[in-house]
Amino acid sequence: MQSQFRLAALAAALLAAGAAHAGVTFDANIENDTTFKGKQGTTKRDTANGGRIELNAKAELVKSGDNFVNAKASLIIPTSSTDKVGVDDAWIQFGNSAADLKIGRQEAADLFPLGKDVVVEAAASGYGYRANALRGRKGDGQLHAVAGLNAAPGLRVELGLVTEKSGKSYGVRPTVVYTAGQLTLRAGMESIKQDAYDQNTDSFVNNVWTRDTNPIAASSSTGFGVSGGYSLGQGVGLNVNYSKNSDLNATSVGLNAVIGAAGLGMVQDKTGANKATTYYAAYSFPLMGVKGASITPAISSSKATGVENLSAFKVRLNYAF
């Protein structure tokens, strides 16, 4: 708890000092979610409330000739006193107009964008594959580096490297993003390998500490994802996604649209004979006519193999300041 207070105090001090540091911008927003989940099998209806405060520090793109250095840091403070303060983004990027390198906690190119995904509650979890296992923002002790190449006008090629110390896993993720006018195409693959290791679990029973060792076998998998987006102008955009991992016998298909303040979509995740199909929609309204404040009601409905259907409703309050 003391570490949370120290992080929050440091973030507040950084925000207060923002005006004194040229070349750096600071912003923040608060988000509050109230979620209602319907009854599913023996699980009763449930209402939950949560949220977070996001504090961002962004370095303006500073150049020396054709060379540049850029950076971003984001601190997430949960509104619940029992949750831990965490870091969302913490990266530095440097290079020139032809090539660059970004190192740190980040999210790489999205090969399966969901659009306005305020609430997407699947009736059964763990199905499908969305080509995002190596996208980023994973566990502690991780190296994440993305080398980028601006190969041609509108053509961006990236190669990501991720290593995870705690899970003894590592992998590479090459992606290509091509933009031509209103059309955006994304394609990529990710190859993951995990070495064999012993997973230790400690427990305290009858005043005695015990350690259980669970051997984890070596494994590997390779998957790919493709996505196409088209902007119709005036805040209207369509997107279709497909990804597959044959080693996991898993596929995912997605279709979504954003129409101004509204968004709707469908995603189907499948592993073997098990399938989960989820439909979702959301709409954002201005809140009390105040700039940066909004209220977004959202709904999702899902059905999956072997379980009852699940419906969810969420109301999100957001205020950027």
Q: How many CB atoms sit inside 10 A of residue 193's CB?
A: 14
pLDDT under 50: residue ranges of the chain: 1-6, 8-10, 12-13, 15-22
Tokens at 70, concatenated: 């850029």
Computed on alpha carbons and rounded to an integer, the radius of gyration of the chain in Å comes to: 22
Question: For the chain, give me the number of helices (H) and strands (E)?
Answer: 1, 19
32-83 pLDDT, tens per residue? 999 999 999 888 999 999 999 999 998 877 788 899 999 999 999 998 767 7
The per-residue pLDDT for 203 is: 76
> Against a cut of 0.75, is the pTM above it?
yes
What is the DSSP-derived secondary structure letter of residue 19? G
Helical H runs in the chain?
2-16
> How high is the mean pLDDT of the chain?
89
Q: What is the pLDDT of residue 196?
A: 78
Q: How many CB atoms lie within 10 A of CB 44?
A: 9
Q: How far apart are CA 163 and CA 105, in angstroms?
A: 12
d(CA 169, CA 192): 7
Q: Cα separation of 212 and 214, whole Å? A: 7
Beta carbons within 8 Å of 13's beta carbon, 6+ residues apart? none
pLDDT digits (tens, 9 = 90+) for 107-142: 999 999 999 999 999 999 899 999 999 998 876 668
